[in-house]
Amino acid sequence: MTRVVILISGRGSNMASLLAASDSGALPAKIVAVIANRPDAQGLLTAAARGVATGVVDHRLFAEREQFDSALAAAIEVFAPDLVVLAGFMRILGADFVRRFDGRLINIHPSLLPAFPGLHTHRRALAEGVRIHGCTVHFVTADLDHGPVIIQAAVPVLDGDDEDLLAARVLAQEHVIYPQAVRWFAEGRLRVHAGRVLLESAPDGAGVLIAPLPDPCPPC
Ligand code: GRF
């Protein structure tokens, strides 16, 4: 069984979707711990209520980023994970940390990367007037929000959308694609070749893009 440690900073709805998938038997993976960089991260309560081990490595207690990264890595290693999942983890991790967990560190980002790396993705998508937005699960590299893409989901940007409406539409898809990505990892189906993810048993890439119809579907 693949051992998974999840890192969070706040609400933890993606974490909750992974816990639910794991509890339902849909994931050949066990969430062995949830670790936050903030003691007040709401998701810690959700995880603890489900009987998952929790921990906090408070970034504010470290003068240097490298010290925080080392303490965080040590806290993670206690649980001997096969996979480390960033789920709304709002700290940039340094190159040493990323190297240490190379190939077993994944992130979810609320945009169709490589569009809109960084913060405020929904606001920026609205400001640019794009018609398609979405979310991406990718392997983490030292290059922020640029690692090899595992799966993406697209959503329409509708007239009348504001940041909250668009964020909610994207978040619903995040809760679909993150469990899917973890499932593929746990099944040993992901290979990275030349900076691209190859999904074994799906040579045509079937399944790696989810594009639900808008609701309500406009006349096509
Ligand atoms: C999600 O939109 C995620 O993509 C982004 O931060 C948000 C975290 O939400 N990185 P939650 O904590 O999982 O509810």
Residue 174 alpha carbon, nearest atom of ligand 1: 4
- Does the structure show a pLDDT above 70 at 213? no
Ligand 1 pocket test, pick from 174, 176, 178 with the greatest ligand atom count within 8 Å of Cβ, gives 174
Provide the percentage of residues in the chain whose pLDDT is more than 70: 94
Domain membership flag for residue 158: yes
Residue 149 belongs to domain spanning = 2-199
- Does the structure show a pLDDT above 80 at 214? no
Give the global pTM: 0.94
The residue among 202, 178, 179 whose CA lies nearest residue 190 is 202
The whole-angstrom distance between residue 125's C-alpha and the CA centroid of its chain comes to 19
Task: Say how many Å lie between the CA of residue 11 and the centre of ligand 1.
Answer: 8
Residue 36 neighbours by CB under 8 Å, 6+ apart: 7, 8, 9, 43, 44, 54, 55, 56, 57
**Does residue 29 contact residue 1 with C-beta atoms inside 8 Å?**
yes
Catalytic residue among 109, 133, 138, 175: 109
pLDDT for position 203 = 58
Encoded amino acid at 136, one letter: T
Q: Tens digits of per-residue pLDDT, 145-165?
A: 999 999 999 999 999 999 999
**Would you tell me the crossing angle of helices 163-186 and 13-23 to the nearest 10 degrees?**
40
DSSP string, 170-185: HHHHHHHHHHHHHHHH
DSSP reduced 3-state for 99? helix
Residues touching ligand 1 (Cβ under 6 Å) are: 8, 10-14, 87-88, 108-110, 171, 174
Residue 16 alpha carbon, nearest atom of ligand 1: 13
Task: Say how many Å lie between the CA of residue 216 and the centre of ligand 1.
Answer: 25
Domain membership flag for residue 214: no
Domain membership flag for residue 204: no
Q: Provide the CATH number for the domain around residue 109.
A: 3.40.50.170
pLDDT for position 202 = 66
Q: Tens digits of per-residue pLDDT, 77-131?
A: 999 999 999 999 999 999 999 999 999 999 999 999 999 999 999 999 999 999 9
CA-to-CA separations, 216 to 54, 99, 212, in angstroms, rounded: 40, 44, 11
Q: What is the distance between the alpha carbons of residues 119 and 109, in angstroms, rounded to a whole number?
A: 9
Q: How confident is the model at residue 211 (pLDDT cuts 50, 70, 90)?
A: confident
Q: Tens digits of per-residue pLDDT, 19-50?
A: 999 999 989 999 999 999 999 999 999 999 99
120 is catalytic: no
* Most trustworthy range by pLDDT among 185-189, 198-202, 207-211: 185-189
- Does the structure show a pLDDT above 60 at 71? yes
Mean pLDDT of 183-204: 89
Nearest CA residue ID for atom 9, ligand 1: 88
* Number of compact structural domains in the chain: 1
CA-to-CA separations, 91 to 8, 36, 48, 100, 105, in angstroms, rounded: 9, 10, 22, 16, 14
Q: Give the CA angle between residues 53, 59, 63 to the nearest 5°.
A: 145
Ligand 1 pocket test, pick from 7, 13, 86, 123 with the greatest ligand atom count within 8 Å of Cβ, gives 13
Q: What is the distance between the alpha carbons of residues 37 and 72, in angstroms, rounded to a whole number?
A: 8
Residue 170 alpha carbon, nearest atom of ligand 1: 2
pLDDT for position 218 = 56
Domain membership flag for residue 69: yes
